[in-house]
Structure 1
Amino acid sequence: MSNNPKKRKSIFDIFDDIMREMEEEMREFEESFEDLMKQQNVKGENPYYYGVRIFVGPDGVPKVEEFGNIKKGKYGKPIISDEIEPIVDVIDHNDEIWIVADLPGVAKENIKVNATEDKIYIKANSDIRKYSKEIDLPSKIDPDSVKASYKNGVLEIKVKKKNEEPKGKEIKIE
């Protein structure tokens, strides 16, 4: 038996390590953002939005989704976009997919929604803001079934899932 048994880390130690790593990454991001602001000589003319949403996806895997108008560019340097990526929820509901997007300050006639079998595209403009979002869907949809409504800054989209019956020909057994 060894005189120096290996000490197991407690769950709290592991959590502390993860939090330290996140704090370090945020500190580095803040420093690079401050450098970018100094380089661009920004005087606060336009607001900057950045946030993350942490959730568990339909596959049970935790996901981190960024939103706002600050994106990571080459080499991890932040890039400021004139388009804001809105907060979006995608809900897999029976034979439909529901999408809810926050688009405050936009008139209904200035919102464009496009759909393919795999994605929904949202673009919206107001005098103050521009929004843009490409949404990957959890399953294939029927683009002709898309219904959208907009009220009080919230865009709701409902779409039917594509009926994916196996294609092919029945084989007669002799």
Structure 2
Amino acid sequence: MARRRNPFDIFGDFDEMFEEMLKEFENMGPGEHESGPFFYGFSINQRPGEEPEIREFGNIRPESGKIEIGERKPLVDVFDTDKTVQIVAEMPGIEKEDVELSAEGRELEIKASHGERKYHEFVDLPADVDIDSAKASYKNGVLDITLNKIQRPSRKKRINVE
């Protein structure tokens, strides 16, 4: 008989995904999972008046039904202020020399590789930014990037009606 799901159980799907991941680990042969660590997570961010944003991070891709180890997706937070856009990415286990950043339009690409540890993520920026203003620092596993917004002067113009 099928189990009835409690409509108030918002984590039911996550429980099922976690159980599937554990089964995959149990079915692996010796030595197949010694290249860890394995991690998967998500962050939920909700701004007032907007729908919640759910972002995944980690080096396991459970959506395929199998455990696929690859590049890690760092946990990334984007802060939109009046004059700047700040991006904070958690990428432990690398050196600042390992980080590559590039930006085009409203997209920032973060790449880093140190030994077997690899990170890669595309970040959608919430505003147009001045790429030449970019400042980045990496300390204690945290990458901090600040970009100035492009300030477009607003001007008033009279429009003739024909």
TM-score, reference length from structure 1: 0.74
1:125 & 1:59 partners in 2: Cα distance? Answer: 38
**Structure 1 residues 37 and 143 mapped into 2: Cα distance closer, same or farther (>3 Å)?**
same
Superposed displacement of residue 78, structure 1 = 3.9
Counterpart residue type for residue 33 of structure 2: K
Q: Following superposition of structure 1 onto structure 2, how do residues 81-120 of structure 1 map, counting pairs within 5 Å?
A: 81-120=69-108
Partner of 1:145, secondary structure, is strand
Q: What's 2:20 paired with?
A: 32
Counterpart residue type for residue 80 of structure 1: E
1:78 & 1:118 partners in 2: Cα distance? Answer: 33
- Structure 2 residue aligned with 1:136, among 124, 140, 154? 124
Q: Deviations over 1:80-134 (max 9, x none)?
A: 2321111111000111000111111211111001111211111111124111111
Q: Is 2:60–2:70's contact at 8 Å kept on the other side of the alignment?
A: no
1:22 and 2:14 are equivalent in the alignment: no
- Structure 2 residue aligned with 1:55, among 4, 27, 45? 45
Aligned residues: 154
1:159 and 2:134 are equivalent in the alignment: no
Q: What's 1:67 paired with?
A: 57
Return the index of the structure with the highest Cα Rg. Answer: 1
RMSD (CA atoms): 2.8
Structure 1 unaligned segments of length 5 or more: list them.
1-15
Superposed displacement of residue 65, structure 1 = 1.3
Q: Which has the higher strand share?
A: 2
Superposed displacement of residue 60, structure 1 = 3.0
Q: Is 1:96–1:159's contact at 8 Å kept on the other side of the alignment?
A: yes
1:51 & 1:35 partners in 2: Cα distance? Answer: 18
Q: Percent same amino acid at aligned positions?
A: 35
Which range moved further: 79-88 or 150-159?
79-88
Q: Is 1:71–1:78's contact at 8 Å kept on the other side of the alignment?
A: yes
Partner of 1:142, secondary structure, is strand
TM-score, reference length from structure 2: 0.79
**Structure 1 residues 141 and 79 mapped into 2: Cα distance closer, same or farther (>3 Å)?**
farther
Counterpart residue type for residue 42 of structure 2: V
**Structure 1 residues 155 and 79 mapped into 2: Cα distance closer, same or farther (>3 Å)?**
same
Counterpart residue type for residue 66 of structure 1: E
Q: What's 1:11 paired with?
A: none
Q: Following superposition of structure 1 onto structure 2, how do residues 143-154 of structure 1 map, counting pairs within 5 Å?
A: 143-154=131-142
Counterpart residue type for residue 51 of structure 2: V
